[in-house]
Each structure stands twice: as structure tokens, then as C-alpha cells.
Structure 1
Amino acid sequence: CASRRSCVGGPGQGQIHGQARPRTEERPAPGSRSAALYVHWPYCEKRCSYCNFNKYIPRGLDEDAMQRCLVKETTTLLKLSGVQRIDSVFFGGGTPSLASPHTVATVLEAIAQTTHLPAKAEVTLEANPTSSQASRLAAFQGAGINRLSIGVQSLDDTELQLLGRTHSVSEALRTLEEAWRLFPGRTSVDLMFGLPAQQVEPWLRQLQELLSLCDDHISLYHLTLERGTLLFAQVQQGTLPSPDPEAAAEMYQDGREVLREAGFRQYEVSNFARNEALSTHNWTYWQGGQYIGVGPGAHGRFVPQGDGGSFREARIQTLEPDNWMKEVLMFGHGTRKRVSLSELELLEEVLALGLRTDIGITHQHWLYFEPHLSLWDVFGESEEVRELQSQGLLLLDHSGLRCSWEGLAVLDTILLRLLLQLQNAWKNRPPPTFKVTESGAASQSGDSCFRYSLD
């Protein structure tokens, strides 16, 4: 994959056949009339040793057919969602820089013809250095891309080989230089840490070197050994040593310090920006906004208003590209599974995602999703919260609920305790009446969480 990120009929579209950058400290949660849009390009030159994303090595790829299906599903899901504006578009994968600029331009044109796509909307492309030569990057810019996310991952050729990356350090540096020239202030780079046998000081030197070359956005990703990957098997078999968790924790802490001293704001657990170069698209995820997933295996979260729906749904598209294309041609989209989110499930997502950011969850933002149970109601009398506050890890005040800088580093531990507190508060709240919130959550009156799936 180009980076460590990725997110995603019948007689009627709702049936199932056979997931501009923020300029202020808080942006209102996108309402039911706007959304972000993610496009998944499932193909790669080869499979990296650590990656378990939905990706395929193409054999005789018919890009025109894939392009037509991406356009068709984009149009179908946009109409189904009923959104009037797309705030951002993200081409992820896989390695979307392997797609032709014409495919990117055609998808963007389909979006603009179906709904409003502002001229200054953020449009990001994940790029791999081996498929991002200068002329190609310029062509993507001409197609409508205005932001790049470059999967550098390491500035050590031995580590790149370990990860199964197809580029070298010199290729990565050339790509960064060209990207900076074409997309000043709009280029993000990824750096991984916590690799087998990786040492703290050499990794910090990589980060310092990257700082001298990069633009205004850096993502630091901790390697996760995923079952089914080559790297997982090598560690299990003893061919490679297990990553050292203490060394990884030190890399993360020291890396945060280095970036803070360089003027970067840690606006999310893994993401750092200066000069307000936050990712608008990812910010939508973390603020609990709607997003539409297009392409094989893409995830989405939106209310299917165009089909008369009132509840927000978690949706996933068919994984395998050939099957997905057949379903798109037959039904207009390849949605394989959709689950209506209950109000509690939506609140759990708002809590888990919002606390990943440095601003956390404001009172106003929380009340947008749950107007009858405030943050004070849920957490104000909690001994757990008081303990976390006394440890300097969590803040609950007039602004809202958020982790401290120290707390962001141990969010997983904090979140488990807060989710349990939310569930208990929800269980003990006054009996609700059936309603649909403005955010598109189904209430918990009776068993209002209905599910559709095709296994």
C-alpha cells in the first residue's frame, strides 16, 4: 500500500443484492447534507511484507472497466446518500498512483456532476515513490489532485527491503523533492517505527533527516504484525526477532518531542502538522462525520437518505475486484454488508475517534450526537475519570473531554475505561423514547438496530 491508511442495487439502490483543511481549533461535525468520499484502488505492484489491506497484484488489468465501475458506484452511492456537498476526496489503496491520471479525473468529474464539489476541496492521492515520477505527479495535479500522501516508511534501504517496499531511499527523496515543488504545503509523508531489530537512535536520525526534506505534514505509524502477512510469519518462525515494545514506545515519545520542537502540532495520535496543514479528509473521520466508500472493500458511514433511510449505516463493499465489478454492473453498487448503527454505537465511535485528536470532544460536538445525555452526565461523577485527571492523562472541563499530551500516548488504555463508563451511563439513563437524532443514529427504544448482510 502507498501508506498505512485506508478506510469504505437490485430493484432499489437501498437493497442488498444476492466508511479545504480545518482552519480553526474545532470544526462542526459534518451534517447529513455533507460527507467525505474515499475511493479505493485495490491494485499494487507487489504485496508489502507487513500489509494485510485489501489489495491485489493485477493480471491483465482492464483499467477502463475499473474506471467505469468506480464512476458508476460513485454516482449511485452519492445519490443514495442524498448529500449535497463533498468536502474532501481521498484516493487510497492499494497503490492509487498506479491508476492513470485520466481515471482520477473521470471519478472527480462524476462527483462534480452528481453533487457539489467545491473548487478548493481537498483531493488527496496516496503515492508510492516508484510510481510517482515528476511527469506523473504533474499529470495527477492536472487531473485535480491537490494533496499528496507519500508512503516513504523508512530512510534505510535495509528496512525498506524488510518491509517489501519497491522503492529505494534515493527514489523516495527524489519523489519528496518533486512533490514539495508541485504541492507546496500539501504533501504528507509516512514514517514507520517499531520494526524488528530497529534501534531508537538510528530511527530518530531518520526522522531528523525527513524533517529537513518534508513539507508540513508527517504521520508516524507503529508497525502492527498482522496475521497472514509475511512479516508476521517470519517473526513467528524465528527468522526475525519480535519488535521491542519498549523501544517502539521510546521512538514514539522521542519522535513526538522532536516534531513538537520543530513546530508541528500533534493534532491526532499518529498525525502531526504545522502551518495548519491538517488533513481535512481524516478530520472528518475523527469528528464522526459521514463518509462514502467507493471501490472494492471500501468502508462508509452515511445515512441513505436517497432511499428514504433515516439511520446512519456502516457499509462495506465487496472485497474481490472482479466480483465487485460484476455487482456494480448489475446493481449500480457493490455494497456487500450494511449495518444500521444504534445511538449507543454511534456515540462509542464519536468517543473513540474524537479522543484521538488533541481537541478531543467539545460539549457542543457531543450534544450534536446526543442532546439528552451530556458529557458531564456521562463522565462528570466518574471515579475513573477523576483518577485519570489526577494522573494528568485526561481533562474534563468547560471545553469538553480530551486527552492531555501525555494521555494521547496511552489512549488505548484510557479508552477502554471510558467506553465502559459510557456503556454504564447509557444503561442507567432514563428510558428513551423512539427518535432519530439529527446525526442519523437510531434510538435504543426496543431493539431498533436492524442489520442487513450477505455472507
Structure 2
Amino acid sequence: MQPAPGSRSAALYVHWPYCEKRCSYCNFNKYIPRGLDEDAMQRCLVKETATLLKLSGVQRIDSVFFGGGTPSLASPHTVASILEAIAQTTQLPAKAEVTLEANPTSSQASRLAAFRGAGINRLSIGIQSLDDTELQLLGRTHSVSEALGTLEEARLLFPGRTSVDLMFGLPAQQVEPWLRQLQELLSLCDDHVSLYQLTVERGTLLFAQIQRGILPSPDPEAAAEMYHDGREVLREAGFRQYEVSNFARNEALSTHNWTYWQGGQYIGVGPGAHGRFVPQRDGGSLREARVQTLEPDNWMKEVLMFGHGTRKRVSLSELELLEEVLALGLRTDIGITHQHWLYFEPHLSLWDVFGESEEVRELRSQGLLLLDHSGLRCSWEGLAVLDTILLRLLLQLQNAWKNRPPPPSRSPSQELPPEAGIHAWTR
């Protein structure tokens, strides 16, 4: 299925790798700046943005997401320069979603207003907890009062377009106090909430503290209860759980993240950024998984030499792409529609892959999975145990792929058409 001429689009992610301090749980690609030359970083981000956009051949960027790190530590001028580079290289619609991740301590009202003037129209605030003791445990640099002050300012500047993050499953965290935090946040927040369970990553300070017995291990049963009850609280407050960790009301879904979950193309800019796109300018026909060089100084040297700092690029096979479509699509409440699946694999339908599966029949009888005229999706109960479901479905897909009849010749183009993915579900 070929996309209509002029319809090729993608999302764009920009990674700002610097933070004031590394949080105790964080293993992301982040650095504490020592004598940062922001002008040099800005020039390299602009250069890599233009280079990768030209390489991809996309004709429109539907959303931009500034993540990190702490991108609210960057200057609004840096943000404006990158957005201008996008607009000069391809189409950036005036109403495109442009999100900035912000930490409360780097987000005073005047600074947030300057980001709005630079082109940001959506804010994602890393509140994480409404308990000062928990914030200290996590290594956060803000207090609860600072977080709530930033949230109030953000809602005035970005009404209806301010998201908040809340973590659960912390060491020694109890269910009822955490639910009270969530209730308090719901009385103050806007229309988008993300709930993230703490993952204790090897190599982090938190991991070391738990290993040495300074802190207890998180209680998985308490975390499961927090997630279950938190979902109920959000549903009663009018929020739709449109993805495993994300909840929205008044149609305030994240356009950018929805592109990921619907298997759309995205371009990753900046140290350690990831991307998925077809390099049309190089004559590519398969989607590539790309990773930029991690360390900022080395990344900048490569950008200055080559125009971009791509360290790794791997062409995805048709099966690998289908595995990503399955794994990401099932994270959403709509799952994978038949039309959406057939765009990526027109010769092996969802019914062909899963219709006669004993695994799927068992999951359906347990009320965890649905396969019907709409497509394949988890039930509300199934979303809570997606990891277990997904392992079984991936094995079923691999077996079906191995035993499929040879398909007729097909177009190798693998990017989404305008009627698939995000646009069909967020109007």
C-alpha cells in the first residue's frame, strides 16, 4: 500500500542530555554539565535536525518532543532555533504538538512564558511525588510546594495542555498514602496524567542502596494494588486510559507518543536519541532503527564532521517491524485494528495469525484479550498484565510468520499513510 503523494510524515524527538543532578533511580543518557557551551550544542542540534530530516525525506513533522535530561534547562532560544530548522527543512504545521519536559526547579513562570514564545505549546512536568521525603529518596531537586507552584503556572500558560507524571512502587511506599497523593494531584492537575512504576535499574544509586540494605526492595504486590486502584480513581475522574501508563480526558492525548504506539516514523535528534524511519534520500526502502552517539562531546564532533551523529543503524525485517507494531499497539486501549495491521502486513491478517490460536482462545476466555471485528486489543484487565500476554502473542506471531505461504511481490515502503495511525484516532 503506497501512501498518497505528499503525505509522508513523522514525529521528531530532541534529546537534551543535561541535568542539574542525576536522580537516584535514573539510568537514562544524562550528564551533569561542566562548562557547557550551549551555543555549540544548539548549532549541532540544529545541524543534525536538518540533516536527518533531509535523509528521511519526510514532508511533514506532526509533533516535536523535547526530552532528556532536563530540556527546561536549555534556553528558549535553543528551542526556537530547532523549531525554525524544522520549519525551514520540511512542513511544521502551526497546530503541531510541541512538548517540553520540565522539572519544577527549572520552570519559573517567566521561563515557561519564554518557552511558550519559542514555540512550545504543551508541557510535561516531572512532579513524581507529592511527598517531600519520597522526593529526597528519588534524588529530585524540587519540593512539593515548588512542584505545585510550577503546575499552577503551567496551567495558566498552557491550559488544557499540561501533563503531570506521578511515580508509584517506591521502597516502603504504602497504598493509601499514595492514593491520597493521586487524589490531591487530580484536584489540581490538567487533562493528562502519566503513572510510572519505579524500575530499580542496575548501576543506579537506588539499586546500590537496596543491595546494601539501606532501603527495602519495592513491594510488587503493593505496586500492583497502587496501579489497579489508581486506574480506578482516574477512570472515576473522567480520564480515559489510552495507554498502559497514560490517562487523558477532554481528548488531551499525547499526539507525539501516540505516533510511537501506532508504529509511525519518528526521527531522534541529540546524544543517545533513538529513531525509526526509512532513509529515502539514500535510496532506502526498509525502516531503520537508529541510535545516535551517547556522549555529548563525541556526538558533537561527529555532527560537525558528518552532519549527524548516528552511531548505529539497523534495517528492520518485516517480522521485526510487525513485532514492534504488535508490542506497541497492544499498549493502547484501541489495540491494533484490522486496517492498521493490514497496512504493515497485507497478506497475513490478524485472524490468520491469532484466530485459531489456543493461546489467544485461553486469553479471551480469561477476559484479558479481545479479537473481533474491530481488531486485537487487551481488555481493561488485560492492560494490567500486558507483559505476560505479549510474550505469548509474540511467540504466536513468530510461528505464524514461519509457516506463512509465500506472499506476492509487494511495495517495500513501510511508512504510515495519513489515514493510519495517529490521525484516525485523535481528531
Relative to the length of structure 1, the TM-score reads: 0.88
> Is the Cα contact below 8 Å between 2:363 and 2:369 reproduced in 1?
yes
Residue aligned with 2:20, SS: coil
Residue aligned with 1:83, SS: coil
Quickly say closer, same or farther: Cα 1:340–1:194, change in 2 above 3 A: same
> Is the Cα contact below 8 Å between 2:56 and 2:277 reproduced in 1?
yes
* CA offsets 1:364-385 (integer angstroms, 9 cap, x no match): 0000000000000000000110
2:57 is aligned to 82
Quickly say closer, same or farther: Cα 1:350–1:150, change in 2 above 3 A: same
Quickly say closer, same or farther: Cα 1:359–1:31, change in 2 above 3 A: farther
* CA offsets 1:102-125 (integer angstroms, 9 cap, x no match): 000000000000000000000000
> Is the Cα contact below 8 Å between 1:29 and 1:288 reproduced in 2?
no
- Identify unmatched segments of 5+ residues in structure 1: 1-26, 433-455
Residue aligned with 1:46, SS: coil
> Is the Cα contact below 8 Å between 1:87 and 1:118 reproduced in 2?
yes
1:65 is aligned to 40
Deviation of 1:215 (Å): 0.1
C-alpha distance in structure 1 between counterparts of 2:232 and 2:195, whole Å:
13
Q: 1:227-266, aligned counterparts within 5 Å? A: 227-266=202-241
> Is the Cα contact below 8 Å between 2:30 and 2:69 reproduced in 1?
yes
> Is the Cα contact below 8 Å between 1:31 and 1:290 reproduced in 2?
no
C-alpha distance in structure 1 between counterparts of 2:271 and 2:112, whole Å:
24
Quickly say closer, same or farther: Cα 1:203–1:29, change in 2 above 3 A: farther
Deviation of 1:307 (Å): 1.2
Residue aligned with 1:413, SS: helix
* CA offsets 1:288-337 (integer angstroms, 9 cap, x no match): 00000000000000000011111100000000000000000000000000
* CA offsets 1:195-217 (integer angstroms, 9 cap, x no match): 00000000000000000010000
Residue aligned with 2:24, SS: coil
C-alpha distance in structure 2 between counterparts of 1:341 and 1:277, whole Å:
32
> Is the Cα contact below 8 Å between 1:29 and 1:287 reproduced in 2?
no
> Is the Cα contact below 8 Å between 2:166 and 2:194 reproduced in 1?
yes
* CA offsets 1:262-298 (integer angstroms, 9 cap, x no match): 0000000000000000000000000000000000000
C-alpha distance in structure 1 between counterparts of 2:232 and 2:281, whole Å:
47
C-alpha distance in structure 2 between counterparts of 1:125 and 1:305, whole Å:
29
Deviation of 1:53 (Å): 0.2
> Is the Cα contact below 8 Å between 2:286 and 2:316 reproduced in 1?
yes
> Is the Cα contact below 8 Å between 1:49 and 1:163 reproduced in 2?
yes
> Is the Cα contact below 8 Å between 1:81 and 1:304 reproduced in 2?
yes
Task: Confirm or deny that 1:100 pairs with 2:80.
Answer: no
> Is the Cα contact below 8 Å between 2:238 and 2:249 reproduced in 1?
yes
Quickly say closer, same or farther: Cα 1:61–1:166, change in 2 above 3 A: same
Deviation of 1:431 (Å): 2.7
C-alpha distance in structure 2 between counterparts of 1:182 and 1:71, whole Å:
26
C-alpha distance in structure 1 between counterparts of 2:64 and 2:4, whole Å:
17
> Is the Cα contact below 8 Å between 1:286 and 1:353 reproduced in 2?
yes
Match 2:283 to one of 292, 308, 316: 308
Residue aligned with 2:160, SS: coil
C-alpha distance in structure 2 between counterparts of 1:194 and 1:80, whole Å:
42
Residue aligned with 1:292, SS: strand
Deviation of 1:416 (Å): 0.3
Deviation of 1:32 (Å): 7.6
Higher relative contact order (CA 8 A, sep 6+): 1
Residue aligned with 1:401, SS: strand
Residue aligned with 2:7, SS: coil
Q: 1:195-206, aligned counterparts within 5 Å? A: 195-206=170-181
C-alpha distance in structure 1 between counterparts of 2:20 and 2:66, whole Å:
17
C-alpha distance in structure 2 between counterparts of 1:268 and 1:385, whole Å:
21
> Is the Cα contact below 8 Å between 1:292 and 1:302 reproduced in 2?
yes
Quickly say closer, same or farther: Cα 1:28–1:214, change in 2 above 3 A: farther
Identity of aligned residues (%): 95
* CA offsets 1:91-110 (integer angstroms, 9 cap, x no match): 00000000000000000000
2:256 is aligned to 281
C-alpha distance in structure 1 between counterparts of 2:271 and 2:388, whole Å:
33
Match 1:351 to one of 318, 323, 326: 326
> Is the Cα contact below 8 Å between 2:52 and 2:308 reproduced in 1?
yes
Residue aligned with 2:134, SS: helix
> Is the Cα contact below 8 Å between 1:91 and 1:124 reproduced in 2?
yes
> Is the Cα contact below 8 Å between 1:30 and 1:290 reproduced in 2?
no
> Is the Cα contact below 8 Å between 2:209 and 2:215 reproduced in 1?
yes
Quickly say closer, same or farther: Cα 1:350–1:46, change in 2 above 3 A: same
> Is the Cα contact below 8 Å between 1:30 and 1:289 reproduced in 2?
no
C-alpha distance in structure 2 between counterparts of 1:212 and 1:350, whole Å:
36
C-alpha distance in structure 2 between counterparts of 1:383 and 1:39, whole Å:
43
> Is the Cα contact below 8 Å between 2:243 and 2:331 reproduced in 1?
yes
Residue aligned with 1:277, SS: coil
C-alpha distance in structure 2 between counterparts of 1:332 and 1:374, whole Å:
41
**Aligned residue pairs: how many?**
406
* CA offsets 1:131-172 (integer angstroms, 9 cap, x no match): 000000000000000000000000000000000000000000
Residue aligned with 1:54, SS: coil
Quickly say closer, same or farther: Cα 1:82–1:155, change in 2 above 3 A: same
Task: Confirm or deny that 1:269 pairs with 2:269.
Answer: no
